[in-house]
Structure 1
Amino acid sequence: MWISGFRAVTRALKDNKFTLKSYFKVTSFCKYSNTCNMAKKALVFLGPGAEEMEFVISVDVLRRGGINVLVAGLPDANIIKCSRDVNIKPDIGISEATSQGPYDVIVLPGGLGGSKAMAESSLVGELLKQQESSGKWIAAICAAPTALKAHGIAIGKTVTSYPAMKAQMEDGGKYNYKEDNVVVDGNIITSRGPGTAFEFGLTIVDKLVGKDKASEVAKAMLLCY
């Protein structure tokens, strides 16, 4: 079916003719091939005091990977001052994020202030619970896994975080803890900090688009993956 569909696509494009028969062959081809898949969609939270390296690197790598990224600001779409006084303008406010989904991945950058804002936001909690119940990806880096804990997300999973957050993540026995740069358990991706942000972003690209694409993005940035 794949070969037949591919021939139908190329022939129809060459002849500039799309019959009903070729239409069904094309749609069958798209069903079984990644070639016609729509781009994946990511939602990235941005709260006051977010770690700007983790935020920017994650968004940059995902967009290089062909993923559509939407940035939701907490509490709204006004300019956010990050942890090192870098100002970033979100695309939308958090209240608008529910109507823009579904998302293939929700990403939580770290930074103490940003993580606290995410942990205290009921809207963030609702979005994360919907994402988890649908089995879609959730990714958190640095201090942001503490926001997952605050909302009861990924209970029983193996996670990592910024080293200073280890005791908080282990407290209560809700998580297994590892000190790897990036940890993937089921639909949960966690990472350690600014120095692991590239690997974090590339792992998300790998899981959403494929390892070949992640390797291609890494090579273009002179990184190994």
Structure 2
Amino acid sequence: MKKVILFLCQGVEEYEASVFTDALGWTTTYGLEPIELVTVGLRSKVKCAWNFTIEPEFQLSEIDSNDFDALAIPGGMSRAGFYEDAYDERLLSLIRDFDSQDKLIASVCVGALPIAKSGVLNGRNGTTYHLSEKRQAQMKEMGVNIIQQPVVIDKNIITSRSPSAAMDVAFTVVEKLTSTANLNRIKEGMGFIEKTCV
């Protein structure tokens, strides 16, 4: 079974995290091939962007990254402390480790910033929040070729430009880790593909 780290930074945007829990969760109950999702953070409790507080299942120091096939990084809000964790060297090191093994790394919105800061997107294509010139400029300064599309895939790295692209990113993770058939099966179960009962 494929295993994915959902990395929860302080100030994470709840919706951007929830799409991964939902899409990958559906693979375990309705899909053709289950994917295990494990929530990981740098602190025992994470205060989210919109005042939820959540508890990651594991601290980063408690897991072996070799046990995982992909890393998902939702974005968050700077005013809620997102970059305290997003730019932490422990996360940046994890990103470099996954990239060195060509493992899948997926992000939503400003979740692309720690990927860029780690250096693995230097000279490669990516995107981030399209309504923030500051964030796009930061990505460029980190050597990223900004592509103005909702979702940008460069080899093993998926970036996206806003919360509206979050579910597409999660679906892409499902498809890349398993199959198009598995993705279509869960999309059917979730109502993204119409099927009528007879």
Q: Secondary structure at the match of 2:123?
A: coil
- Within-5 A mapping of 1:167-186: 167-171=137-141, 174-186=143-155
CA contact (8 A) 2:9 2:86 kept: no
TM-score normalised over the length of structure 1: 0.75
Runs of 5+ in structure 1 lacking a partner?
1-38
Report percent identity of matched pairs.
30
- Within-5 A mapping of 1:36-185: 39-65=1-27, 66-74=34-42, 76=43, 78-97=44-63, 99=64, 101-113=66-78, 115-163=82-130, 164=132, 165-171=135-141, 174-185=143-154
CA contact (8 A) 1:64 1:217 kept: yes
Higher helix share: 1
Q: Report the Cα distance in structure 2 between the residues aligned to 1:221 and 1:153, rounded to whole angstroms.
A: 34
Shift of 1:101: 3.2
**Does residue 223 of structure 1 match 2:185?**
no
Shift of 1:100: 5.3
Q: Report the Cα distance in structure 2 between the residues aligned to 1:179 and 1:220, rounded to whole angstroms.
A: 31
CA contact (8 A) 1:43 1:103 kept: yes
Alignment-derived partner of residue 192 in structure 1: 161
Shift of 1:102: 2.8
Q: Secondary structure at the match of 1:153?
A: coil
Larger Rg: 1
Q: Give the root-mean-square deviation of aligned CA atoms.
A: 1.8
Shift of 1:125: 1.6
Shift of 1:141: 1.1
What do the CA deviations read for 1:125-174 (whole angstroms, capped 9, x no partner)?
221111111111111111111111221122222112111122221235x1
Q: Report the Cα distance in structure 1 between the residues aligned to 2:82 and 2:188, rounded to whole angstroms.
A: 31
Shift of 1:82: 0.3
CA contact (8 A) 1:50 1:82 kept: yes
Q: How many residues align structurally?
A: 183
Shift of 1:64: 1.7
Q: Secondary structure at the match of 2:67?
A: coil
Deviating 4+ runs (over 4 angstroms): none
CA contact (8 A) 1:115 1:144 kept: no
Greater relative contact order structure (CA < 8 Å, 6+ sep): 2
Q: Report the Cα distance in structure 1 between the residues aligned to 2:151 and 2:65, rounded to whole angstroms.
A: 28
Q: Secondary structure at the match of 1:149?
A: helix
Structure 1 residue corresponding to 2:171, chosen from 190, 202, 212: 202
Shift of 1:191: 1.4
Runs of 5+ in structure 2 lacking a partner?
28-33, 194-198
Structure 1 189/117 Cα, relative in aligned 2: closer, same or farther at 3 Å? Answer: same
